[in-house]
Amino acid sequence: MELFKKTLNIIEPGDYEAKKAAMQRIDNLAKPIGSLGTLEDIAAKMAAITGKIYNKINKRNIIVMCADNGVVEEGVSACPKELTAILTQNLTKNFTGVTVLSEFTGTDITVVDIGVDAVINNPLVINKKIAMGTKNMVKEPAMSYKEAISAIEAGIEIVDDLCKKGYDIFGTGEMGIGNTTTSAAVLSAISGLSPDLTVGKGAGLTEEQYENKKRVVKRAIELHAPDSKDPIDVISKVGGFDIAGMCGCFLGAAKNKRPIVIDGLISSAAALCAVRLNEHVRDYIFPSHLSEEPGAVYMMKEIGVEPILNLHMRLGEGSGCPLAFQIIDSALYAMNKMPTFEEASINSDGFIDIRE
Ligand SMILES: O=C(O)c1ccc[n+]([C@@H]2O[C@H](COP(=O)([O-])O)[C@@H](O)[C@H]2O)c1
Ligand SMILES: Cc1cc2nc[nH]c2cc1C
């Protein structure tokens, strides 16, 4: 509880003076005002995070939180629960989408067992197991309030450690059969939106199974009536250990003044909880893509960010993060290397400053 409270208390807003100075440079670059669109927003936001106008990312890390969800016994997923443990192991063998894309983009992966319902005997998986999966949320709260805090603290600790190792950007990912159900439940509980809008087909469901999934989310919310103003209450009643762990990652990144990227629906649920715990966390968050899950649009709105990409992806694992890293790198490179109108005029006889 101490680490959680301390972290929440010391998170500061971004450096808006540095952001203003960055915007000034961006507006002076040899291009029509605003013509680099979202790349400009990214470069300015990064300046607010680091307090510097010129930024470069050297070390990238995606933290993948793996956990099981008790609600799977209600038939909400097309996948067998055992896949969580298998895919957790696969993350360490470069057998997954996120690891291959990370290899391509020079990104390291941190695999965390935060609640897989199996013994994961693998030195490449960090053991932060809170329990052997959550409870079935239509029968009882998914976890205790204390467990939710412990899982959040595990995420903060992971980010603290990685910051000491020199990582300067983070991605968030997860592996957990059934976690599109918990994510939709968290979104509905916090926003008040009907599960008819927030629930999707996840890894794939028949129409009949999809109707059941919506009923399950409605039943869990009716049973526990989570307090929409208390993200810990929401996570503990209808969330998952992966969502809690990633929520901790967002808080930890904000505390350490490091950028952190959202992937799909599940990491959005974690980001939403983190932003509701402390509004300043938003200053450190970059979205990546718009997940194909229907709830993703509402997640983005509730968090208050606009996805950079729309690639119709719905893999999860953190797979959108390496792609966003490349866009972020490009934005920073343009910011650092493009000449201003003044610089371009000095270096080229024929240059016309279109602002005059
Ligand atoms: O992140 C997303 O937007 C996303 C959308 C659909 C499925 N997933 C992945 O699929 C698994 C959850 O799907 P489900 O149907 O079991 O809830 C979990 O391991 C996620 O990584 C992830
Ligand atoms: C193969 C596979 C990979 C995944 N990654 C995230 N969820 C997944 C579900 C399946 C089935």
316 CA to middle of ligand 1, Å? 5
| Cα 266 from Cα 272, distance rounded (Å) | 10
Could you tell me which of 59, 52, 253, 285 has the C-alpha nearest to residue 165? Answer: 59
What pLDDT score was predicted for residue 264? 98
Q: Which of 64, 69, 179, 186 to mutate to test the pocket of ligand 1 (most atoms within 8 A of CB)?
A: 179
Higher-pLDDT residue of 313, 343 = 313
| Cα 256 from Cα 237, distance rounded (Å) | 29
Task: Give the residue whose CA is nearest to atom 11 of ligand 1.
Answer: 177
pLDDT surpasses 90 at 355? no
Ligand 2 atom with the shortest distance to the CA of 78: 11
| Cα 178 from Cα 158, distance rounded (Å) | 24
pLDDT surpasses 70 at 246? yes
What average pLDDT does range 73-94 have in this prediction? 98
Q: Answer yes or no: is the C-beta of 14 below 6 A from any ligand 1 atom.
A: no
- Nearest 5°: the CA angle 144, 149, 155 is 130
Contacts with 336 (C-beta within 8 Å, 6 or more apart), sequence order: 54, 55, 56
Output the pTM of the full model.
Answer: 0.98
Residue 130 pLDDT grade (very low, low, confident, very high; cuts 50, 70, 90): very high
Please say whether the dihedral angle defined by the alpha carbons of residues 243, 249, 252 and 257, taken in this order, is positive or negative.
negative
Does residue 316 come out as left (phi exceeding 0), alpha (psi in the -120 to 50 range) or beta? left
Measure Cα distances from 211 to 73, 75, 77, 181 in Å: 16, 11, 12, 12
What average pLDDT does range 91-109 have in this prediction? 98
303 CA to middle of ligand 1, Å? 20
302 CA to middle of ligand 2, Å? 26
21 CA to middle of ligand 1, Å? 40
What pLDDT score was predicted for residue 261? 99
Residue 343 pLDDT grade (very low, low, confident, very high; cuts 50, 70, 90): confident
What pLDDT score was predicted for residue 345? 79
What pLDDT score was predicted for residue 1? 85
**Mean pLDDT, rounded, of the chain:** 97
What is the CB < 6 Å shell around ligand 2? 79, 83, 87, 175, 203, 315-317
Instruction: Give the ipTM.
Output: 0.99
In the sheet where 60-67 sits, what is the strand order?
125-127, 107-115, 60-67, 169-175, 260-261, 285-286
Neighbours of 340 (CB within 10 A): 17
Ligand 1 atom with the shortest distance to the CA of 175: 19
What pLDDT score was predicted for residue 354? 65
What average pLDDT does range 183-193 have in this prediction? 99
Contacts with 83 (C-beta within 8 Å, 6 or more apart), sequence order: 177
pLDDT tens-digit map of 8-33: 999 999 999 999 999 999 999 999 99
Phi, psi of 202 (to 5 degrees): 55, -130
Residue with tokens 């119709």: 312
What pLDDT score was predicted for residue 254? 99
Contacts with 346 (C-beta within 8 Å, 6 or more apart), sequence order: none
What pLDDT score was predicted for residue 347? 65
Any idea which ligand is nearest the CA of 240?
1
Q: Answer yes or no: is the C-beta of 178 below 6 A from any ligand 1 atom.
A: yes
> What residues are labeled active site?
317
| Cα 234 from Cα 258, distance rounded (Å) | 26
pLDDT surpasses 90 at 352? no
pLDDT surpasses 60 at 356? no
Angle at which helix 231-238 crosses helix 179-191, to 10 degrees, equals: 140
pLDDT tens-digit map of 262-281: 999 999 999 999 999 999 99
What average pLDDT does range 318-346 have in this prediction? 94
Task: List the alpha helices (DSSP H) in 308-349.
Answer: 320-337, 341-347
What's 142's DSSP letter? S
Task: Give the residue whose CA is nearest to atom 10 of ligand 1.
Answer: 203
